[in-house]
Structure 1
Amino acid sequence: MTSPPDSSPPTLDPNSDKLDADVLKIAGVVVLAAIMSILDVTVVSVAIPTFEHVFETTYALAAWSMTGYTLALATVIPLTGWAADRFGTKRLFITALVLFVAGSVLCSFAWDITSLIGFRVLQGLGGGMLMPLGMTIMTHAAGPQRIGRVMAVLGVPMLLGPISGPILGGWLIESASWHWIFLINIPIGAIALIAAVFILPSDKPSPSESFDFLGMLLLSPGLALFLFGVSSTPNTGTVASARVLIPAITGTVLVIAFVFHAFRTTHPLIDLHLFKNRDLTIAVVSMLLFAIAFFGAGILIPSYFLQVRGESTLHAGLLLAPQGLGAMITMPIAGRLVDKIGPGKIVLFGITLLAIGMAAFTQVSLDTPILFLIGALFVMGLGMGCTMMPIMTAALATLTHQQVARGSTLMNIVNQIAGSIGTATMSVVLTTLIKQNAFSGPAIASQSDPSIAEKLPPGAVEEGLRHAGDSFGNTFIVALVLIVLTLIPASLLPRRKRPASDVDAAAVPQVVVH
């Protein structure tokens, strides 16, 4: 978009101490789109049994409505950095929104499970670009001196999605129909699209870089195969399965081949030379360990409420709310402090709180007081608000304007990989422990189908559920160990504000808002 000749469009001053109205408007657009895409992941997760019934298919095939979306994300995320440089972040953001909303509409008209999976892939192609593009747009708009605050704003959808998704999904399916978990994206997407056209700043793409076709052929399929193999682990119950090992090993080989290729080409799909930046490297390692532990534990907590305590999906979602409340309290405070004193101390404090909350969950059993768990979730939320986005800030704050798109893409790839590894690891550990008691499986199943309990010996349900509760507690020990290990790289993060003189002039763009 262009400004009228006689207008004097305001410029965003990256050195300003506060987030002005122009930056907040841009943040609003990005957050709205990000909430929509992240929420869609968890909303659909509670609908898989419904798809199984409506489309008369197996649970494993219905679960591909989730897997297909995830693999599409993995395929498109590596392309986002190059595409943002080539076509411009605004144009690509609008394109991603259109793809996502179009995929949502088509999903609501799916006539069988195959068509639903195909339309979910289309959704994923759009959704996978929204978060890295949003990070790039907000970083460019605010400048490196305020990146902590804008990352705190962007953390809102990453926080609300997993918590509110099951609540919203369960409510829509029960009160309306499964179609509405997709149709709800239409009004939200339309508002985000209109706002993006009029609010997002115009950008100047750099068409000079050649596209790394070989890198794409190596990295995108490599990530997709690796994530498919890893995400198949919970279904097989073991990593020693051809369904897990063949795609995971093939994907790993392709990714390793990309690494060698990336260091030998001028313009790789993902610029691995970014790892020469010490702060970014430390942030990547910190994020990897944190995300494996946090997202892995994230799937355990609602499962405990559902499978051991017999809560409904809606109640389980509501019980997770204290975690969101805790994070909403500390996230904006952490964002301000990171801009003033650097991320190091903030992240260490956050990880300590996370460890305390996670330690409480290692003690869960069949009859652990709900108030105790709510308190632990609140403490974990306080820690999460001081951890995730400050680590992102540490990674992106030292990058130049030209590097931000590639850096945000890299961090989103790390998040995607770590989340899948964490989910698979915790699922396999939990499944292995639960199988050690013959009654645990049937006892868990009886929570959703009471008729199963009638076929079991007296006391078998309680014995099985008690063992299952202890299994959850032991699995949380794995997450706790990983959280504690995160303290090692986090201790190396910057513990002071980066002087403005250290910021590359190219990292402080004058963004014009039209």
Structure 2
Amino acid sequence: MTAPASPQTADGPKAEDSGGGLDRGVLAVAMVVVLGAIMSILDVTVVNVALKHLTEDFNTPLATIQWVATGYTLALATVIPVTGWASARFGTKRLYMISITLFVAGSALAGMAWSAESLIAFRVLQGLGGGMIMPAGMTILTQAAGAQRVGQVMSIVGIPMLLGPIAGPILGGWLVDDVSWRWIFYINVPIGAVALVLAARILKRDQPRPAERLDFLGLVLLSPGLAALIYGLATGAEKSDFTLPGVLVPTVAGGALVLGFVAHALRRGNTNPLIDLRLFKRRSVAAASGTLVLFACAFFGAMLILPLYYQTVRGETAFAAGLLLAPQGFGAMVTMPIGGKLTDKLGPGKVVLVGLAIVVAGVAGFATQLTPDASYWALGAALFVMGLGMGMTMMPTMSAAMQTLQHDEVPRASTSLNIIQQVAGSIGTAFIAVMLATQMRDRGLDLGGGMGAETPAAGQVPPEIMAQIMTKMADAFQTTYWWSLGLLVLAFLPALLLPRKKPDTVPVETPMPMH
């Protein structure tokens, strides 16, 4: 039986539904959107606990296999600016269903991957779909509920956002241990199929209204440029030689494409650039961007390697490693709503500085305590503290950028900051993974066969030799966390320039921007 449609006209919700609770139609739409959100959000975190198994199954070093995570987030960044144009061109319902189809196809192919390279390619396809699921779904839900009920709507969609960092690693660990790592991708297929059927039956028919043109040249310059530049820099750092042809060519080519994009975006007469770089003349936007880059590099890189420590140094299963990562999600769950309220009352700059200080304290715990026999309670406390700080840093930083902007500048700034966050996360995962591989190699630990290659089986070597190997490995992780800590300390410099006063006026409530 078809669920009742949300009472809307072609121009939006009816007046009588502009306030009060959420009716059955809106709740049905919310169910469809949450299903898509669950897939895309879980997939960001579920892969981290499987990296050790992937390096071993494909006999591939960590510096290569980390592109399973990096390629996905880069693909997310690629489609963010396209979503607004595609929504107007094809309609939000059609775009949402296309996004889920791409994501499910990428998931099924990733589960069938026969090599590290094929897995990375299929993860990129997954990311191209996943990057459009959330903004398209949020727009559909906002239009169904109306401006007066946006807060209630966001609280529903916020559930998978809060639970993702907790449930993702646990679910991924269970599947890796008891089923197969391939099922961390296959599990998206039935969920996606249900989401597609419900979307076809519940979401109202599209009314495409093509508006602005897509900055196709900007897209062609920026996306391949970033991928080539990050690949070249990561490979050069891994090999400790930036003069090799396989390093120099992609680095130079990527840098040239990115510079070409900058010139194109700043060109006079370009009224609709992919990223409006002119906004970065605003101190608040520039400071927020700098803070976000350094924070995302450090935080997401740090979270990438922690499950590897639990599995390689401590010998934990993937499922146990996922459970041990849960405190970070609980910490973020506590402070995310508090951070938003404090930002409105005190100003974003003050909140972000406190949040950064809390994250620094958490990462410092890993940089100083990550020994072969570190207390799990102490590490869990450090993770919880990191989560507390993250909840008071990410969204307040974005709020700081929006505070001084005009109404029509907000969507463009939102797009830019979301791209910056995804790209910075990609850079961070690549950088921290390469740093860990370098630290392992410097200590004489062989990573050629994956993260488990350097660890002899129990009984093959005397206990004192095994203890030395574990100590070297733990020291490599510890040193890598010092790099992460250094990036976080640098983030204080742009954060000091963020606005420290609350906004003078309350911004007009608008649907979440998609372009």
State the TM-score, normalized to the length of structure 1: 0.80
Q: Which whole-Å CA distance do the structure 1 matches of 2:161 and 2:119 have between them? A: 25
Q: State how far apart, in whole Å, the 2-side matches of 1:90 and 1:19 are.
A: 24
Structure 1 stretches of 5 or more lacking a match? Answer: none
Query: Is 1:426 equivalent to 2:432 in the alignment?
Result: yes
Tell me if 1:122 matches 2:122. no
Deviations 1:83-112 (A, max 9, x none): 345445554334312321233345456678
* Deviation of 1:394 (Å): 2.8
Q: Give the SS at the match of 1:273.
A: helix
Who is 1:357 aligned against? 362
Per the alignment, residue 377 of structure 2 pairs with 371
Is 1:40–2:43 an aligned residue pair? yes
The yes-or-no answer on 1:93 pairing with 2:96 is: yes
Question: How far apart are residue 432 of structure 1 and its match?
Answer: 3.2
**Out of 249, 252, 271, which is 2:252 matched to?**
249
CA distance in 2, matches of 1:392, 1:448: 43
Q: Residues 194-205 of structure 1 correspond to what in structure 2 (within 5 A)? A: none
Pair 230,26 (structure 1): closer, same or farther in 2 beyond 3 Å = farther
SS in 2 for 1:450: coil
- Give the corresponding residue for 1:220: 223
Aligned to 1:59: 60
For residue 398 of structure 1, report the CA deviation from its aligned partner.
5.3
- Paired positions, count: 501
Change (3 A) 1:43 1:339: same
User: How far apart, in 1, do the equivalents of 2:474 and 2:423 lie?
Assistant: 28
CA contact (8 A) 1:288 1:415 kept: yes
* Partner secondary structure for residue 500 of structure 1: coil
Are positions 1:464 and 2:469 aligned together? Answer: yes
The 5 Å alignment of 1:48-447 reads 58-59=59-60, 69-84=72-87, 86-87=89-90, 89=92, 91-108=94-111, 119-133=122-136, 157=160, 160-190=163-193, 192-193=195-196, 207-230=210-233, 232=235, 236=239, 241-264=244-267, 265-364=270-369, 365-396=371-402, 402-438=408-444, 445=452
CA drift at 1:33? 2.7
Residues 283 and 497 in structure 2, CA contact (< 8 A), matched pair in contact too: no
- How far the C-alpha of 1:149 sits from its partner, in A, is 9.7
Q: Deviation string for 1:47-70 (max 9, x for gaps)? A: 56766888xx54368776556545
1:353 to partner: Cα distance: 0.9
CA spacing shift, 1:483–1:67, aligned 2, 3 Å: closer
SS at match of 1:347: helix
C-alpha distance in structure 2 between counterparts of 1:510 and 1:163, whole Å: 25
Q: Is the 8 A contact 2:8 2:144 kept in 1?
A: no
* Kept in 1: contact 2:173–2:320 (CA 8 A): no
Alpha carbons 1:342, 1:498 under 8 Å: kept: yes
2:472 partner letter: H
Residues 113 and 418 of structure 1: CA distance in aligned 2, closer, same or farther (over 3 Å) = closer
Structure-2 change in CA distance of 1:136 and 1:344 (3 Å): farther
Question: Which one-letter code corresponds to 1:93 in the other structure?
Answer: Y
Are 2:465 and 1:450 aligned?
A: no
Cα distance in 2, alignment partners of residues 79 and 371 from structure 1: 44
Residue 342 of structure 1 aligns to which amino acid in structure 2?
G
For 1:138 and 1:190, the matched residues in 2 are separated by 20
Going from structure 1 to structure 2, the CA distance change for 1:392 and 1:342 (only over 3 Å counts) comes to: same
Secondary structure of the structure 2 residue equivalent to 1:59: coil
Instruction: Check whether the contact 1:74–1:224 (CA below 8 A) recurs between aligned residues.
Output: no
Deviations 1:142-196 (A, max 9, x none): 9999999988876765565455434322322433344532332234334545666
Q: For residues 295-346 of structure 1, what are the alpha-carbon distances to aligned partners after superposition, in whole Å with 9 as ceiling and x for unaligned?
A: 1211232222222222222111111111111111111222233334432222
CA displacement 1:12-54 (0-9 Å, x = unmatched):
87xx9x9978999877665543331232244345556766888
- How far apart are residue 3 of structure 1 and its match? 4.9
181-190 vs 302-311, which deviates more? 181-190
* Stretch deviating more after TM superposition (196-205 or 207-216): 196-205
- The alpha carbon displacement at 1:424 in A equals 2.8
Percentage of identical aligned residues? 50
Other structure's SS at 1:249 match:
helix
Residues 271 and 279 (structure 1 numbering): CA distance in 2 closer, same or farther, change over 3 Å? same
Does the 8 Å contact 1:101/1:186 carry over to 2? yes
- C-alpha contact 1:101 1:185 (8 A) present in aligned 2: yes
Letter in 1 for 2:376: I
Deviation at 1:460, TM superposition (A): 2.2
Distance 1:26 1:216 in 2: 31
After TM superposition, the structure 1 stretch with the greater mean CA deviation from structure 2, 144-153 or 73-82, is 144-153
Letter matched to residue 395 of structure 2:
M
RMSD: 4.3
Given that 1:151 and 1:393 are in contact with CA atoms closer than 8 Å, whether structure 2 keeps it comes out as: no
- Provide the rounded CA distance (Å) in 1 between the counterparts of 2:42 and 2:452: 27
Following superposition, the deviation at residue 238 of structure 1 comes to: 6.2
Q: Structure 1 residue 9 and structure 2 residue 9: aligned?
A: no
- Give the whole-Å Cα distance in 2 for the aligned partners of 1:500 and 1:332: 21
Q: In structure 1, what is the equivalent of residue 495 of structure 2?
A: 490
Q: What is the rounded CA distance, in whole Å, between the counterparts of 2:337 and 2:53 in structure 1?
A: 38
> Shift of the alpha carbon at 1:234?
7.4
Q: Provide closer, same or farther for how the CA distance between residues 219 and 113 of structure 1 changes in structure 2, counting only shifts above 3 A.
A: closer
Letter in 1 for 2:386: M
Q: Take 2:121 and 2:70, find their aligned partners in 1: how far apart are those partners?
A: 11
Answer yes or no: is the 8 Å Cα contact 1:97–1:126 preserved in 2.
yes
Question: 1:131 and 1:330 mapped to 2: Cα distance?
Answer: 22
